[in-house]
Amino acid sequence: MNPEALWYGHEIQQLVKALTEQQGVDVALLLASTGISAELLQDPSLRLSIEQEGKIYGQVAKYNRDPYLAIEQGKRLGVNHYGVLGQAMLGANTLREALLLMQKYSSIISWAMSMQLRYETYNGEDVVSIALQTGAATEKNVAFELENIIASVHTIINQIVLAPVNFTAIQLTTKQYVDNLQPYQQLFKCAIEFNAKTTKIIINRALLRKRLPYAAPELSELRVQLCQKVLDSYHQQHGLVNAVRKYIEDSQQGVPTIKQAAEQFHRSERTLRRQLTELNTSYQQLLDGYRYEQAKQHLGNSSYNTETIAKLLGFSDSRSFRKAFKRYSGKTPSEFRKHL
C-alpha cells in the first residue's frame, strides 16, 4: 500500500468509466481543462491534484444522467479505498475511536470534505451525528459528493463493525433530485430528509461503544502516526501549489516564467520542477490553468480580440492561444464567446 496515494484517483476513474461506458458521455467533456488525457486516466496508479479532482467531479455531476450513480459508486468505497486511514479505523478499539479518526484525518480522503461528530438527540433518542461539508461549487455538485460520501461511510462502518449497521436518519442540505427514494431506503434503511440546515448521518449513540472485531491497538497506533505524517505532507504540498498559483495570479510584471517563480521561492528551476512534479502538477499546468480562467474572463467581459487576449496572457501569437484554449475547453475562443 502506498500511504500517499489518493483514493480519489481510483474513485474518479470508476465514475468516468460509468459515464463513458454506461451513458455514452464523451470522455473529453469529463476531462476538459484538467490536463489529464484519456490514456493517462487508464493508469491504475493515477494520482490527481486537488484541482483536477474537483474539476472532474464537477463534470461528472454535470453530465451524469443516472440519479443513483453517487450512492452506487460510494457504496463500493470501503476500507481499502481509505488507504492508511481505513486501516487505522479497522484496528481501532471501538466505533467511537474509528469515527474520531475519520473526523481528524478526513483531509486525507479529500481536502474539500469536513466531518464533525456531535452528540445530540433525535426524536427523543440519544444519537451521534456525523456532520458533513464539502467544497463543491454548485448545489448539484454538492448533492453528488455528499451522497457519494454518505454511501462510502455506510460501507466502511459496516466493514469495520463486521455486521449490518443501519443509520437512524440521513439529513441533506440539498433538495431532493429524485422522485423515487427506494434505492436510498434499501441501502441505508432509514429516513432520508432533504432541505435540512446541516448534512448529517445520524446513528444510535450506543453503537459508539461497540468493540470492533479487528481491534489491534498497537498496530492501529502505528497507522495513526502514518496518517499524521501523510496529513502533514499534504498540508506542506498543498501550501506550495497554492503559493505558486497565487504568485502567478498576483504578478504585476505580466505572466511570470518558471525562472522568475524559482527565484521568488528561493529554489533552482530544477528543484521547483521536481517538487511540483511530486505534487502531481507542473508549473506549466498551473500557468495554463491561470491563463484559461483569465481567457474566459476576457472573452466574456470584454471586447478584446484574440490577438489582444493572447498578448495579455503571454502567448507568442494568437494561433498558440487559440490552440491552447481549445485544448482546455474543447472550443475555439470565438465558439466559446458565441455560446455565452
The CATH number of whichever domain residue 245 belongs to comes to 1.10.10.60
Same domain, 236 and 197: no
Distance CA 84, CA 100 (A): 15
166 and 189 Cβ atoms separated by less than 8 Å? yes
Same domain, 245 and 144: no
Same domain, 136 and 157: yes
Is 210 a domain residue? yes
Distance CA 76, CA 251 (A): 44
Is 39 a domain residue? no
Same domain, 300 and 180: no
Q: What is the pLDDT of residue 236?
A: 62
Question: Which of 173, 198, 215 is the C-terminal boundary of a domain?
Answer: 215
Q: Please count the structural domains in the chain.
A: 2
Query: Which regions of the chain are under pLDDT 70?
Result: 1-9, 44-45, 49-51, 107-113, 135-137, 233-239, 252-253, 266
Same domain, 120 and 185: yes
Amino acid at 103: Q
What b/e string do you get for 267-306 counting C-beta neighbours within 10 Å, with b at 16 or more? eeeeebbebbeebbbebebbbbbbbbeebbebbeeeeeeb
Encode pLDDT of 39-88 as tens digits: 888 876 677 766 677 788 888 888 988 889 989 988 988 888 877 888 88
Is 105 a domain residue? yes
Is 60 a domain residue? no
Is 43 a domain residue? no
How far, in whole angstroms, is CA 54 from its chain's centroid?
5
Is 156 a domain residue? yes
Q: What is the pLDDT of residue 13?
A: 84
Q: What is the pLDDT of residue 2?
A: 32
Distance CA 144, CA 150 (A): 10
Amino acid at 164: P
Give me the sheet containing 125-133, strands edge to edge: 114-122, 125-133, 199-204, 169-171, 191-193
Distance CA 46, CA 115 (A): 26
Same domain, 276 and 330: yes
84 and 3 Cβ atoms separated by less than 8 Å? yes
336 and 299 Cβ atoms separated by less than 8 Å? yes
* Grid cell of 18 as nine digits: 460509468
Same domain, 135 and 227: no
3-state secondary structure of 127: strand
Is 44 a domain residue? no
Same domain, 126 and 182: yes
* Grid cell of 316 as nine digits: 507568442
Same domain, 198 and 77: yes
Is 182 a domain residue? yes
134 and 147 Cβ atoms separated by less than 8 Å? no
* Grid cell of 323 as nine digits: 490552440
Question: Which of 180, 215, 250 is the C-terminal boundary of a domain?
Answer: 215
Same domain, 204 and 236: no
Question: Which of 166, 189, 215 is the C-terminal boundary of a domain?
Answer: 215
Same domain, 174 and 265: no
DSSP string, 29-95: HHHTTSS--HHHHT-TT----HHHHHHHHHHHHHH---TTHHHHHHTT--GGGGHHHHHHHHT-SBH
What b/e string do you get for 22-37 counting C-beta neighbours within 10 Å, with b at 16 or more? eeebebeebbbbbbbe
Read off the pTM.
0.66
Same domain, 164 and 269: no
Q: Which domain holds residue 272?
A: 219-338
- The residues, any chain, with a CB within 8 Å of residue 284's CB and separated by 6 or more, are none
CA dihedral 233, 235, 155, 20 (to 10 degrees): -100
